Amino acid sequence: MELYIILALVVVLVETTILVLRSGGPSLVKNGGRRKVFIDTSSIIDGRILPVAETGFIGDELIVPKSVLSELQLLADGADSEKRARARFGLDVVASLQKVQGLKVTILRDEPFVSEGVDNRLIALAKKYGGLIMTNDFNLNKVAVVEGVTVLNINDLAQNLRSEFLPGDKLKLDLVQKGSSTDQAVGYLQDGTMVVVEGAAGQIGNNVEVEFIRHLQTSAGKMMFAKKTGSDMPKSQTRQTGRKPQRQTREKRAEQASPSEKKEQKSVSKQDSRSQRRPRRKETNEDRLVRLANK
């Protein structure tokens, strides 16, 4: 009887162990569901990690090794003024990250000065603790991928979040409604972004080619501004429209001129006609030599 009880307990224990391993419960409880992300010097100096963390998008544990802090301190004490300013800014970023509410930042007490280099130390730490590396360093990124370590790159994040269309880009857009101004029309991109087109109120309901001018990003969303392509008046037309008013003003001035002013205008015109009638001076041998030299 006791043997059956012991066998039953063993079976229950085995089934419980299998269920626990499948659910992964202990690992989540132990690590709190956070990944360990080791931050490189380049990501700290870059500074964009701070606003990303302040928005609450980073739920992982950020680990700053002591060797990285020592490298920042060494640059901050260096003779290069530019590197010194960037390193001091990086130290301020670390201090600000520690103050972000809900973000866990850990200073790992490893060796401050390592003979194999900070990059190799980061890869070794990521392998040891099963973590990731956050870096903007292109070479470290490539080496870490070869070593089998996952890399987070702020540049990749910025590239994926940038606007699909930049100022100067052109697109065929359906205009569906009026804008806030009387000469504006509104269309929408495939992702739902509103596009306000200047001077296109008469094209509502049509598919018009537009050129993007600028975009506005707020917490409420993104809005883009554009203009119709070819809406600017050609230069030839502007020149013609610019000459007509000048001719009209000259004729009006001539009609409104006093008798004395008319006499002066006639004398000036006579002098101009006399100067045009003067015979041209014959070309001398010296003139021919100068003309040949200029050729």
pLDDT of residue 250: 55
pLDDT at 239: 39
In terms of pLDDT, which residue wins out, 275 or 264?
264
Classified by CATH at the fold level, domain 170-228 comes out as OB fold (Dihydrolipoamide Acetyltransferase, E2P) (2.40.50)
Contacts of 153 (CB under 8 A, 6+ apart): 134, 135, 136, 141
| Res. 20: pLDDT tops 50 | no
Beta bridge pairs of residue 170: 211
For 33-159, the fitting CATH number among 3.40.630.30, 3.40.1160.10, 3.30.1490.190, 3.40.50.1010 is: 3.40.50.1010
pLDDT at 203 over 80: yes
Report the candidate in 221, 227, 207 with the shortest Cα–Cα distance to residue 167: 227
| DSSP letter assigned to residue 249 | H
The 3-state secondary structure of 32-53, one letter per residue: CCCCEEEECHHHHHHCCHHHHH
Other beta carbons within 10 angstroms of residue 152's beta carbon come to 21
Comma-separated ranges of CATH 3.40.50.1010 domains in the chain = 33-159
Closest CA to 65 of 43, 33, 89: 43
Handedness of CA 259, 263, 266, 272 (dihedral sign): negative
Residue with tokens 């006499």: 263
Q: What is the pLDDT of residues 85-95, one digit of tens each?
A: 999 999 999 99
* Range with top average pLDDT, 150-154, 212-216, 265-269: 150-154
Is-above-0.75 flag for pTM? Answer: no
For residue range 165-182, what is the model confidence (pLDDT) as tens digits? 888 888 899 999 888 888
Provide CATH 2.40.50.110 ranges for the chain. Answer: 170-228
